[in-house]
């Protein structure tokens, strides 16, 4: 199968959906000729013109608000938010307006919009361009949240998101845009709420999102050599969450580590760990661990930044302890 | 069509308003928008406008009255002669007019009793009472008793009349902290509507006894602390009849995980725990932090032959017919009547089906004596309260029945008046 | 006077009376503690909603505000579904999930009231963007109050609306008060000048004169349909009640004399009624017949709503997502 980059996969998905459905359009800062700073959208304006690929002023609340209104009245906007950190700027439009319209109207209004943005530290971009804020959005009922872990997922999830009748936020890891993966030429969609078992194992389950899937897979490879068999699961969407697949795996292995690049406290890892605790307690032979980003603003210095995020070595070390029955974080 | 004039809701969290002044007199012609009356709340004073044109009639609230929000206080009629008083508000009956204070509810006297009949009030409306003053007399199909006030205050409202049946837990009286300016006497039917005074606390039923029943693993010496084991290891041990205690005794390091169960299985199998456990019998402990036995004693002696008869009834009622009370090695059996009347508990020579061993006068604080001929309940001092241990053989009582028995008895010992009658 | 005008005028009068009557009944429901929550009364501002919405079709969209009952009625909503919504009943426009501050009726193009001040400015502008992208000629009117002009979002969306010539009309209902504060204490300079700074054609109009509002809106809507938008209207009006129904003692921010003056001398319904009679468009009897019919309509709708059923509790997790029937199942 051919291999393409995650960036190309996103581009393909959007192009295919724009060809298929004339109500789909793209808007955001520097999305047209510039094709975004990451060049993810390059070439689209040439095919679809500036009527369907709209460069906006630097007004995040404004253009996200426009997308909400356009979506409520029959269009399917894809909004590009250049950095995930700018989510804070658009919270009212996303969480008070988009997320609640369907519910507040008793099901009569729908908001079929996609907000695509990014996450990921270790790009030396410091505290305001490096955050992974998916937990903030996932906390709000009414918004779906997808987190592709490779080019394959990026394309399939994007196409599903564009066809979904609810607001969907897609968080792409900005460090993965050039990562290649096999992506079929023929059309495919990845349904929301279906986790993917990336690697089967029997001793411990790693539940990982986005780029943390790679971290988990590397950790699993390290452990393999030591006779510890790790299963790696990618939920692919954290809202809706495929609880059944996660629970089945944890019931099988009886141990789990949840890995996500958002801050560890009150985060995605905490939510998933908590559900495993509630629903698989009597199948657990060890505490479920969370591994998120350190609870500090992302520092600039490489010496500091690199230690704030989960690493394969860190995941493997924790897995060894759990499998050996060592007490973690206990006196 | 006459138009109701209601006490308006003015603030965001306001229940009532005070009528400062009527600005129109009954019979006056009013136009829509005319100021009708002036209202005062804790936040503001305002004039309330007429919402319809006509004549002010049926005024039922006076200046100075505190009126709940939404209550109809007058009407605007098509003629000045409309004499019909404003209708009483349907959704919330005048229960709002009840004085503020502590609610006294119909106590639950028997074990399966839904209501009690109000025999009569023993205190005059408005009188001051202390906690031990008897407030009213209640009759159930099992017994008649006088109920004490339980708190100090003034009998500000009676919400049931003699002869009326009142549901257990339903309010029958209100005790106000201060001498009431006006008292209320109602029948239970009037009071049956939902509302209650705004300050009303939860029904004044006594706190249920705080009890813990701890099924012990074995009658042998207990480990001091809790065994540390993973949830899965515990579940598998339970399912497979493995005793984690044996791992502790073997000196195996905690916490235990599933892998450690293999070690447990490999221990010398002089005992196969699961089968033995049933043979070894059951031992359950209940702790009763505070108990009502002492204050109960004087009342009980008036109704029963002896304190031991009461103890026998506490221990066996509802479970067995003959209970032995054992103290300092001597055991006397008592036959329990079907009707639960304490006065009919009588000494007998029949063999007991259950023994209550009273060690309250001893220094013994813990027993693990193993199963005897019949189940044995041992009553012992425990700090300010009591502890109660049930020991029996597996064939005497199922685990569920043993728990139920101990739980019942502990509850009665903690609250004899509530549970026994 | 042509027949068409007679019908239009009587409909405008009726719609204003419907708003006033709706609000009087809603106020009564609140005062008598029959309505959950609280509400913001539109009384006094009727000529704004009616003058504008009478210039629109059902295909044209509006976005509304926390003071939104007037817009909803003017855009064609029915009393029954509105009162049901105010009382949280299943037959309400939003199945009781929105209430007074989120009432929406998209069958008539009302995209909904919004409880965030200025919160719908993006939605209205987005609706206009959709119209332009899809080549449809509908126009969107964005209602908001003078208080909302202090929100940054407005400047962001006006900028885009002007850049892209979007068919949106920003209708600022200046009732003189930003919640409990005089507008002059929160707004620097001229409000129309702010829109003009983006090159947006702006008008200030007497919001108590339904004919003036309607005539101007008709012209602007027609131009917006041709791609000449956006436009800005500042409608000078007055709210008879406090910020919300519980805002009773308000003399610390405005005098009773001032309220009396607006009610007695500038009431939009009284003024228009006088005009209709004076011009011979309707007799006093005909006017009274309209008033009585509206009153009965409201009384019946309130009674219906009071008796109507609450939504089943199973609806609590419905409508979270459009494709998941029960979000928590």
Low-confidence residues of chain C, pLDDT below 70? Answer: 1-4
Last residue of a domain, one of B135, B170, B191: B191
Q: Tell me whether residue A187 is in a domain.
A: no
Are B358 and B392 in the same domain?
yes
Judged by average pLDDT, the poorest of A19-23, B1-5, B282-286 is: B1-5
Q: Taking the CB of residue A225, how many other CB atoms lie within 10 A of it?
A: 8
Q: Tell me whether residue C326 is in a domain.
A: no
pLDDT of residue C191: 96
Report CA-CA distances (Å) from A176 to A39, B326, C324.
Answer: 13, 80, 31
pLDDT of residue B188: 78
pLDDT of residue B313: 82
Report CA-CA distances (Å) from A326 to A201, B69, B307.
Answer: 20, 63, 57
- 8 A C-beta contact, residue C74 and residue C54: yes
Looking at the complex, report in whole angstroms how far the Cα of residue A276 sits from the nearest Cα belonging to chain B.
13
Are B322 and B275 in the same domain?
no
Are A100 and A239 in the same domain?
no
Are B87 and B7 in the same domain?
yes
pLDDT in tens, B127-138: 888 877 888 888
| Cβ contact, residue pair A286, B259, below 8 Å | no
| Cβ contact, residue pair B231, A325, below 8 Å | no
Cβ of residue C265 closer than 8 Å to a chain B Cβ: no
pLDDT in tens, B196-252: 444 434 444 444 444 444 333 333 333 347 888 999 998 898 888 889 988 988 888
Question: Structural domain of residue C73, as residue ranges?
Answer: 3-25+42-317
B193 φ/ψ sector (left φ>0, alpha ψ -120 to 50, else beta): beta
Are B52 and B141 in the same domain?
no
End-to-end CA, chain A = 52
At C88, list the tokens: 């949280």
Q: Tell me the C-alpha distance between A51 and A45, whole Å.
A: 9
Average pLDDT on B181-196 reads 68
Q: Tell me whether residue B211 is in a domain.
A: no
Here the CATH number for the domain that contains residue A285 is 3.40.50.920
In chain B, the percentage of residues whose pLDDT exceeds 90 is 2
Closest CA to C244 of C25, C63, C67: C67
Out of A62, A74, A104, whose CB is closest to C130?
A: A74
Tally the domains of chain C: 1
Would you give the DSSP letter of residue B140? -
Q: Which of A17, A129, A172, A231 is catalytic?
A: A129
pLDDT of residue B349: 87
Q: Tell me whether residue B204 is in a domain.
A: no
CA atoms within 13 A on the CB side of C121: 29
Cβ of residue B233 closer than 8 Å to a chain A Cβ: yes
Looking at the complex, report in whole angstroms how far the Cα of residue C247 sits from the nearest Cα belonging to chain B.
7
For tokens 């005048």, the residue is B94
Q: Tell me the C-alpha distance between B347 and B307, whole Å.
A: 12
Backbone phi, then psi, for C216, in 5-degree steps?
-65, -45
Q: Tell me whether residue A281 is in a domain.
A: yes
Higher pLDDT, C96 or B44: C96
At C45, list the tokens: 């501002």
pLDDT band at B296 (very low <50, low <70, confident <90, very high): low
Q: Tell me whether residue B205 is in a domain.
A: no
Strands C168-174 and B171-176: unpaired
> Largest Cα–Cα distance of chain C, in whole Å?
63
Average pLDDT on A200-204 reads 97
Cis peptide before C290 (omega within 30 of 0): no
Query: Is the pLDDT score of B385 beyond 60?
Result: yes
Taking contacts as CB-CB distances below 8 angstroms, the residues of chain C near A26 are none
pLDDT band at B420 (very low <50, low <70, confident <90, very high): low
Q: Tell me whether residue C37 is in a domain.
A: no
Taking contacts as CB-CB distances below 8 angstroms, the residues of chain C near B12 are 38, 246
A129 catalytic? Reply is yes
Q: Tell me the C-alpha distance between C240 and C175, whole Å.
A: 9
| Cβ contact, residue pair B11, C30, below 8 Å | no
Average pLDDT on B104-121 reads 76
Cβ of residue C307 closer than 8 Å to a chain B Cβ: no
Report CA-CA distances (Å) from A168 to A140, A212, A292, B18.
Answer: 12, 21, 23, 53
Tally the domains of chain B: 4
Taking contacts as CB-CB distances below 8 angstroms, the residues of chain B near C34 are 70
Last residue of a domain, one of A182, A204, A224: A182
pLDDT band at B292 (very low <50, low <70, confident <90, very high): low
pLDDT of residue A89: 97
Q: Taking the CB of residue B206, how many other CB atoms lie within 10 A of it?
A: 13
Judged by average pLDDT, the poorest of B108-117, B355-364, C168-177, C315-324 is: B108-117
Q: Which helix H or strand E contains B104, and what residues bound it?
A: strand B102-105
Average pLDDT on A106-127 reads 95
pLDDT in tens, C15-41: 999 999 999 999 999 988 888 888 999
Average pLDDT on A223-251 reads 97
Three-state secondary structure readout of A195-248: CEEEECCCCEEEEECCCHHHHHHHHHHHHHCCCCCEEEEECCEEECCCHHHHHH
pLDDT of residue B410: 82
Are A222 and A300 in the same domain?
yes
Nearest CA in chain A to C142: A69
- 8 A C-beta contact, residue A48 and residue C133: no
Are B391 and B326 in the same domain?
yes
Q: Tell me whether residue C30 is in a domain.
A: no
Q: What is the mean pLDDT of chain B?
A: 77
- The residues near C162 (Cβ < 8 Å, ≥ 6 apart) are C198, C199, C200, C230
Query: Is the pLDDT score of A187 beyond 90?
Result: yes
Segment 86-125 of chain C within 8 Å of chain A by CB: 92-98, 102, 104, 106, 111-112, 114, 116, 119-125
Are A173 and A266 in the same domain?
no
pLDDT of residue B218: 34
At B253, list the tokens: 């390091």
Tally the domains of chain A: 2
Are B302 and B398 in the same domain?
yes
Cβ of residue A74 closer than 8 Å to a chain C Cβ: yes
pLDDT band at A23 (very low <50, low <70, confident <90, very high): very high
Are A128 and A271 in the same domain?
no
Write the ipTM: 0.92
- 8 A C-beta contact, residue B243 and residue B273: yes
Here the CATH number for the domain that contains residue A22 is 3.40.50.970
pLDDT of residue B15: 80
In chain A, the percentage of residues whose pLDDT exceeds 90 is 95
Query: Is the pLDDT score of B94 beyond 60?
Result: no
| Cβ contact, residue pair B230, A281, below 8 Å | no
Q: B225, B228, B229, B232: best mutation site toward chain A, by most A Cβ within 10 Å?
A: B232
Question: Helix, strand or coil for residue B69?
Answer: coil
Q: Taking the CB of residue A197, how many other CB atoms lie within 10 A of it?
A: 14
pLDDT of residue B382: 80
Q: Tell me whether residue A173 is in a domain.
A: yes
Are B299 and B378 in the same domain?
yes
| Cβ contact, residue pair C134, A75, below 8 Å | yes
pLDDT of residue B205: 44
Q: Tell me whether residue C328 is in a domain.
A: no
Q: Tell me whether residue A17 is in a domain.
A: yes
Are B248 and B162 in the same domain?
no
pLDDT of residue A39: 92
pLDDT of residue B269: 63
| Cβ contact, residue pair C249, B45, below 8 Å | yes
Query: Is the pLDDT score of B89 beyond 70?
Result: no
Looking at the complex, report in whole angstroms how far the Cα of residue B258 sits from the nearest Cα belonging to chain A.
7
pLDDT of residue B298: 66
Higher pLDDT, A270 or B102: A270
Q: Which helix H or strand E contains C304, and what residues bound it?
A: helix C284-307
Q: Tell me whether residue C322 is in a domain.
A: no
Q: Tell me the C-alpha distance between C172 and C174, whole Å.
A: 6
pLDDT band at B277 (very low <50, low <70, confident <90, very high): very low
How remote is the C-alpha of A331 from its chain's centroid?
35
- 8 A C-beta contact, residue A218 and residue A310: no
| Cβ contact, residue pair B12, C246, below 8 Å | yes
In terms of Cβ atoms closer than 10 Å to its own Cβ (0-12, 13-18, 19+), residue B84 is exposed
Cβ of residue C193 closer than 8 Å to a chain B Cβ: no
Question: Helix, strand or coil for residue A181?
Answer: strand
Closest CA to A17 of A189, A273, A221, A148: A189
pLDDT of residue B278: 45
Q: Tell me whether residue A190 is in a domain.
A: no
| Cβ contact, residue pair C32, B6, below 8 Å | yes
Question: Structural domain of residue A76, as residue ranges?
Answer: 3-182
| Cβ contact, residue pair C31, B44, below 8 Å | no
The strand pairing partners of A145, in sequence order, are A169, A239
Nearest CA in chain A to B238: A282
pLDDT band at B13 (very low <50, low <70, confident <90, very high): low
B-contacting chains (≥3 CB pairs under 8 Å): A, C
- The residues near C23 (Cβ < 8 Å, ≥ 6 apart) are C41, C42, C43, C69, C70, C241
Give the range with max mean pLDDT: A115-119, B45-49, B212-216: A115-119
Are A249 and A298 in the same domain?
yes
Question: Structural domain of residue B259, as residue ranges?
Answer: 220-280
Q: Taking the CB of residue C322, how many other CB atoms lie within 10 A of it?
A: 17
Are B51 and B104 in the same domain?
no
Nearest CA in chain A to C98: A104
β strands within B207-351, DSSP E: 213-215, 282-288, 322-327, 330-335, 346-348
| Cβ contact, residue pair B234, A282, below 8 Å | yes
Out of A61, A75, A240, whose CB is closest to C156?
A: A61
pLDDT of residue B214: 38
β strands within A47-140, DSSP E: 53-55, 76-80, 114-119
Are A207 and A175 in the same domain?
no
End-to-end CA, chain C = 62
pLDDT of residue A228: 97
Here the CATH number for the domain that contains residue B158 is 2.40.50.100
Here the CATH number for the domain that contains residue C209 is 3.40.50.970
CA atoms within 13 A on the CB side of C124: 33
């Amino acid at each position: 199968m051919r291999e393409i980059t995650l960036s190309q996969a996103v581009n393909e998905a959007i192009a295919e959906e724009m060809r298929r459905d004339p109500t789909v359009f793209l808007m955001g800062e520097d999305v047209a000729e510039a094709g975004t700073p990451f060049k993810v959208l390059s070439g689209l304006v040439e095919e679809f013109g500036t009527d369907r690929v709209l460069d906006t002023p630097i007004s995040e609340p404004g253009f996200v608000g426009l997308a909400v209104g356009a979506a409520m009245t029959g269009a399917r906007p894809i909004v590009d938010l250049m950095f995930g950190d700018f989510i804070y700027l658009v919270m009212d439009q996303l969480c008070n307006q988009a997320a609640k319209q369907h519910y507040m109207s008793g099901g009569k209004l729908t908001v079929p919009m996609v907000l695509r943005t990014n996450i990921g530290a270790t790009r030396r971009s410091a505290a305001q361009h490096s955050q992974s804020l998916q937990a903030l959005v996932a906390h709000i009922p009414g918004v779906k949240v997808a987190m592709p872990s490779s080019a394959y997922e990026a394309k399939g999830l994007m196409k599903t998101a564009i066809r979904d009748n609810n607001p969907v936020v897609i968080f792409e890891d900005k460090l993965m845009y050039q990562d290649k993966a096999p992506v079929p030429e023929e059309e495919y969609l990845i349904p929301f709420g279906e986790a993917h078992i990336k690697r089967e194992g029997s001793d411990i389950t790693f539940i990982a999102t986005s780029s943390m899937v790679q971290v988990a897979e590397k950790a699993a490879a390290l452990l393999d050599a030591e006779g510890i068999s790790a299963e790696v699961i990618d939920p692919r969407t954290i809202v809706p969450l495929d609880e059944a697949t996660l629970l089945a795996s944890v019931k099988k292995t009886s141990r789990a580590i949840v890995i996500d690049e958002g801050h560890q406290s009150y985060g995605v890892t905490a939510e998933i760990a908590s559900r495993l605790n509630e629903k698989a307690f009597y199948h657990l032979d060890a505490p479920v661990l969370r591994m998120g980003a350190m609870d500090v603003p992302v520092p600039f210095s490489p010496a500091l930044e690199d230690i704030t995020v989960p690493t394969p070595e860190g995941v493997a070390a924790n897995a060894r302890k759990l499998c050996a029955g060592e007490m973690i974080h206990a006196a | 069509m006459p138009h109701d004039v209601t006490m308006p809701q003015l603030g965001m969290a306001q229940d009532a308003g005070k009528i400062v002044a009527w600005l129109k007199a009954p019979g006056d012609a009013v136009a829509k928008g005319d100021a009708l009356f002036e209202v005062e709340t804790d936040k503001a004073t305002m004039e309330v406008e007429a919402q319809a044109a006509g004549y002010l009639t049926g005024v039922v609230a006076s200046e100075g009255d505190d009126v709940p929000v939404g209550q109809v206080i007058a009407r605007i009629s098509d003629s000045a002669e409309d004499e019909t008083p404003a209708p009483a508000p349907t959704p919330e009956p005048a229960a709002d007019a009840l004085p503020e204070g502590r609610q006294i509810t119909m106590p639950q006297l028997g074990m399966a009793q839904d209501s009690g009949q109000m025999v009569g009030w023993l205190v005059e409306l408005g009188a001051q009472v202390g906690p031990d003053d008897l407030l009213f007399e209640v009759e159930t199909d099992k017994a008649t008793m006088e109920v004490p006030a339980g708190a100090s205050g003034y009998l500000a409202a009676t919400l049931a009349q003699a002869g009326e049946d009142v549901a257990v837990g339903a309010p029958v009286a209100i005790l106000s902290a201060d001498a009431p300016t006006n008292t209320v006497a109602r029948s239970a039917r009037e009071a049956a509507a939902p509302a209650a005074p705004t300050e009303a606390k939860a029904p004044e039923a006594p706190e249920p006894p705080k009890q813990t029943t701890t099924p012990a693993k074995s009658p042998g010496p207990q480990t001091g602390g809790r065994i540390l084991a993973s949830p899965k290891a515990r579940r598998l041990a339970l399912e497979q009849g493995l005793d984690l205690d044996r791992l502790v005794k073997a000196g195996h390091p905690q916490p235990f995980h599933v892998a450690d169960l293999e070690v447990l299985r490999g221990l010398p199998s002089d005992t196969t725990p699961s089968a033995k456990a049933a043979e070894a019998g059951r031992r359950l402990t209940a702790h009763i932090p505070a108990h009502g036995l002492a204050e109960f004693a004087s009342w009980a002696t008036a109704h029963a032959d002896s304190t031991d008869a009461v103890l026998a009834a506490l221990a066996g009622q509802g479970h067995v017919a003959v209970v032995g009370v054992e103290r300092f090695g001597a055991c006397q059996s008592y036959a329990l009547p079907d009707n639960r009347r304490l006065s009919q508990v009588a000494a007998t020579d029949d063999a007991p089906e259950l023994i209550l061993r009273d060690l309250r006068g001893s220094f013994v604080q813990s027993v693990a004596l193993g199963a005897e001929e019949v189940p044995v309940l041992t009553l012992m001092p425990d700090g300010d309260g009591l502890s109660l241990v049930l020991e029996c053989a597996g064939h005497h009582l199922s685990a569920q029945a043993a728990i139920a028995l101990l739980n019942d008895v502990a509850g009665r010992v903690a609250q004899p008046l509530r549970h026994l009658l | 006077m042509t027949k068409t005008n007679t019908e239009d005028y009587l409909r405008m009068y009726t719609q204003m009376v419907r708003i006033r009557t709706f609000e009087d009944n809603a106020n009564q429901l609140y005062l008598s503690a029959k309505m959950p929550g609280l509400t913001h009364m539109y009384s006094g501002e009727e000529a704004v909603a009616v003058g504008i919405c009478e210039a629109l079709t059902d295909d044209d969209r509006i976005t509304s505000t926390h003071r939104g009952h007037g817009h909803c009625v003017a855009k064609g909503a029915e009393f029954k579904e509105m009162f049901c919504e105010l009382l949280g009943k299943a037959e309400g426009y939003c199945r009781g999930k929105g209430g007074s501050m989120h009432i929406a009726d998209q069958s008539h193009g009302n995209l909904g009231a919004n409880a965030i001040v200025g919160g719908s400015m993006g939605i209205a502008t987005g609706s206009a963007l959709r119209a332009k992208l899809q080549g449809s000629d509908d126009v969107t009117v964005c209602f908001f109050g003078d208080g909302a002009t202090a929100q940054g979002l407005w400047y962001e969306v006006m900028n885009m609306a002007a850049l892209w010539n979007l068919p949106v009309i920003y209708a600022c209902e200046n009732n003189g008060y930003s919640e409990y504060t005089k507008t002059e204490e929160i707004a620097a300079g001229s409000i129309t000048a702010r829109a003009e700074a983006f090159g947006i054609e702006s008008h200030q109009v007497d919001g108590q004169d339904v004919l003036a509002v309607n005539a101007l809106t008709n012209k602007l809507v027609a131009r917006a349909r041709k791609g000449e938008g956006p436009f800005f209207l500042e409608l000078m009006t007055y709210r008879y009640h406090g910020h919300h129904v519980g805002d009773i003692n308000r003399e610390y921010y405005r005098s009773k004399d001032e309220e009396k003056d607006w009610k007695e001398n500038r009431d939009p319904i009284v003024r228009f009624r006088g005009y209709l009679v004076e011009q011979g468009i309707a007799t006093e009897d005909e006017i009274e017949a309209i008033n009585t019919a509206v009153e009965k309509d409201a009384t019946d709708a309130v009674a219906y709503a009071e008796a109507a059923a609450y939504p089943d509790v199973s609806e609590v997790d419905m409508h979270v997502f459009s494709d998941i029937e029960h979000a928590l199942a």
